[in-house]
Amino acid sequence: MRIPTILHDDRIMMGTALTVLVAAVAIAPMVRLLSNVRASDLLGTSHLSLRPSPAKRVAVVHRKAAAAPHAIQMGNTLILFSTLQDYTFTFSGLTLCGGASCAARVEVMLEPDGLEPVWKSITAQEDGSFSFEVPFKARPHQVLDWTVTLRDADNHMLQTGGRQILTGDRNPELKRTFDIH
């Protein structure tokens, strides 16, 4: 092995050359080990395989990866699927206009964190009752913001909202009485 020389102002810096030599000696075994590892092993495929070096044979070690809950294995490739799950948020209640029941317009917007918002609207019955389901996709333990907007025939408006963390319950509910005036 040749010791590298570093020239600076026409002088050889022996301290730096010695440091480079020590680093090269320390790194050499790691470089030799990594030269036997395939790039796909470093990228997280489902097995580890060492290529035999020309000087000697190395045992090939296969290790199967545990399949993720939303994955399938095809050969040496593990294909991951989205963890999005189907949810259905049920909104129900009563709309009041100045204390009396009224057929107000009920609009709901769901905004799962980081995903596209979902919007749905209906008109409440003459007695002010309403109930409808809003299907959406989200991930478990994700934050869900919701907004309910009510409008009466005179275009008076009431808006309320909330935030919740989605749990294992795939059918969250909101049941309320809303007084627009």
Calpha distance 32→35 (Å, rounded): 5
Q: Is residue 52 assigned to a domain?
A: yes
Task: Give the pTM.
Answer: 0.54
Calpha distance 150→131 (Å, rounded): 13
Amino acid symbol at 56: K
Residue 174 sits in a domain whose CATH number is 2.60.130.10
pLDDT at 167 over 80: yes
Considering the domain architecture, whether residues 76 and 91 belong to the same structural domain is answered as no
- 11: its two tokens: 């002088």
Strand partners, 106: 122, 150
Residue 148: the pLDDT is 96
**Cα 89–113–179 angle (5° rounding)?**
45
Per-residue pLDDT of 69-80, as tens digits, reads 455 566 776 655
Give the residue from 26, 51, 80 where a domain finishes.
80
